[in-house]
Amino acid sequence: MSAKTIAVTAVCIAIVAVLVASVPVPIAATGGFTHPGAIAEIFVAMAFGPIVGLIAAGVGAAIADLVLGYGSFAPLTLIAHGSLGFLAGWLGWKKGYSGMAIGWVVGGLALVAVYFIGEATVYGFGLAGAVAEIWINLFQVALGALGIILFVLVKRAYPQVEQLAEDVTFTEESA
**Alpha-carbon gap, residue 32 to 61, rounded angstroms:** 13
Task: Please tell me the pTM assigned to this model.
Answer: 0.93
Using a pLDDT cut of 70, give the percent of the chain over it: 98
Statement: residue 90 has pLDDT above 90: yes
Cα separation values, 143 from 43, 61, 85, 139, Å:
11, 15, 14, 7
**Alpha-carbon gap, residue 31 to 119, rounded angstroms:** 11
Instruction: Evaluate whether 19 touches 147 at the Cβ level (below 8 Å).
Output: no
Statement: residue 158 has pLDDT above 80: yes
**141-157: b (≥16 Cβ within 10 Å) or e:** bebbbebbebbeeeeee
pLDDT at position 138 is 97
Position 55 confidence tier, pLDDT thresholds 50, 70, 90: very high
Other residues' Cβ atoms within 10 Å of the Cβ of residue 55: 22
pLDDT at position 18 is 98
The residues, any chain, with a CB within 8 Å of residue 101's CB and separated by 6 or more, are: 92, 148
User: Residue 71 carries which side chain, given as an amino acid letter?
Assistant: G
In order of their start, the domains of the chain are 3-159 (1.10.1760.20)
pLDDT at position 169 is 66
